Amino acid sequence: MNSRKTGPTITALLASSLAIFMGAALLAAPAAVADTDPESPIPDTSDSLSVPELLESAYALNGPTVSEASPAPYGTDFPVVMEANFARPHYDVGTANADFALLDDLERLIRGSYLTPTGQLKPKAQRSATVVNVSVSRMEKSVRVGREMIKAAQNGVTVRFIHGKATQSAESRSLAKKLAAQKTGHVVICSKGKSLACMSSLNGAIAHAKIVMVSDTYTRDGDRARGAVWTGSSNYGGRSGEYTYNNGITVYNDKKMWVQMSRLWNDMWARRNINNDYLSYVSARSSSYGYAGATSAGYSSNFATRGMFYSNLSNYTIYATPIKATPTNGRDPVLNMLNRVVPDNQCRIRLMENRFKYRRIAVAYKLVELSKGGCRISAVGFKDDNKKNYQEHCQIVIRICRPILDVFKTSVTEIDTAYAHPHDKTILVDAKLKPNKLNPEERTPEGHMWPQSGHRATLVLAGSAALTGSNLVMSDEVTTETTDPEIYDQYLNHWKAITTTRPYGIFRY
């Protein structure tokens, strides 16, 4: 199915008329580690990237439906586009059951840094001006992604790889060694004392964010793209890659999102001391997270004054952790989202969670409250049919721990619960939503200010952070949120697909 591009709204057309054509990507990586000045309103020249105006011919590729916003910060040839990708294996045993679709899509992104969609080597100047940034938690039994990183570096692309010390494997060590042997390959293995994360210094924290960034690549349709940013749930191989359900979202040509995520990347790369609260760290230095003049290109603001990264052009929010959040201080992105829901008999909430543990019990109580108000709620948790994992997690077959299930029991209307093999960290909402208190800047899917009385919308909350305490307040994570209706539809199909897999079953609690 070819990708579909939606037409502009009146608001989008007005914003588009103000767009300024930019001939080069604003921000990319230095050739070596650089601790840039966090107070600078625009990243310094060591972080800048000049990309020659060498447009390759478009090449039509088949792919899932995508959605597109109208304003184009990089010029009319580079509209803001979103794509979702998924892994949907039928079972977690046997090569024939693996689904490499998501990892293949990440390889396509990286391959676009040095090859055109028709397989032609891009000009040397263009390759040397391109940067690829990759971070991952695990790579056991991984074949894909790493091999394209090495090829990109061999062809003169600057490739930087972040990996956590706690989760190194034979495959990740091999990748790090081969990448470091390349002139333009660079590797950081994160740890900070008792922390094994890049930014968090808390004991037991890990580097868990899954990110792929490519400054000059192509969309699935073969259109040249600048500033591609992917985040998701998938590791790059094995049980938590092609053998479990996973998801991710790629945003192309969104200059503000590229700049902000590049700053996050540099903070991780430099192992920045953020006082274990990234929202507050960014908010206090917001002029470094965005760029002056963004509003002239159609954005609702120039900088990340609230600490999260938000783009009204892609209708997309990124919350990076750790965050000093509690059940009552309004800083938990999941609780904040659920607190927006106005329950009624049309409300529908679906969870696909790899882990749902007792330290996020406030989320369970909120779900019960919404269920009592009329929302139909369903949850698919991970089936722990491996003895080691069974002991490490909830000690029951489903990785929704007993304290959470005990709260579910208090709901007047049963919260449907099932197990399968999701590595997803996803919540799908179809409901009337009140304005976003954590991010008041957020617009409706139609581009308007969010009505105080609420607005019916569909929402996808995803990323790398499971419903555990450590994934919120300790580790380096990324949680994403979008109200794009086409992205929601694709995630809904993902939800429906998991109910047809071999391990799927109803769990009676």
320, part of any domain: no
Distances (CA, A) of 299 to 6, 21, 69, 125: 19, 14, 12, 31
What is the tally of structural domains in the chain? 2
Q: Nearest 10 degrees: CA dihedral of 113, 115, 121, 124?
A: -10
Per-residue pLDDT of the chain (509 residues; tens, 9 = 90+): 334 343 444 344 334 443 333 333 333 333 333 333 333 322 332 333 333 222 222 222 233 333 444 479 999 999 999 999 999 999 988 888 899 999 999 999 999 999 999 999 999 999 999 999 999 999 998 989 999 999 999 999 999 999 999 899 999 999 999 999 999 999 999 999 899 999 999 999 999 999 999 999 999 999 999 999 999 999 998 889 999 999 999 999 999 999 999 999 999 999 999 999 999 999 999 999 999 999 999 999 999 999 999 999 999 999 999 999 999 999 999 999 999 999 999 999 999 999 999 999 999 999 999 999 999 999 999 999 877 787 888 999 999 999 999 999 999 999 999 999 999 999 999 999 999 999 999 999 999 999 999 999 999 999 999 999 999 999 999 999 999 999 999 999 999 999 999 999 999 99
306, part of any domain: no
Half-sphere exposure of 389 (CA within 13 A, CB side): 14
Alpha-carbon span 162 to 212, nearest angstrom? 10
Same domain flag for 342 and 254: no
Distances (CA, A) of 227 to 65, 122, 259: 20, 17, 8
Distances (CA, A) of 246 to 229, 240, 241, 464: 17, 8, 7, 10
pLDDT at 19: 39
Residue type, 262: S
Radius of gyration of the chain from Cα atoms? 21
319, part of any domain: no
With tokens 């409706």, the residue in question is 444
> What pTM does this model have?
0.86
The helix-helix angle for 146-154 and 101-111 (nearest 10°) equals 10
63, part of any domain: yes
Please report, for the domain that includes residue 500, its CATH number.
3.30.870.10
Which of 242, 274, 306 terminates a domain? The answer is 274
Other Cβ atoms within 10 Å of 121 Cβ, number: 12
Other Cβ atoms within 10 Å of 275 Cβ, number: 14
- Beta bridge partner(s), residue 462: 480
Residue 253 belongs to domain spanning: 10-274
Alpha-carbon span 327 to 56, nearest angstrom? 50
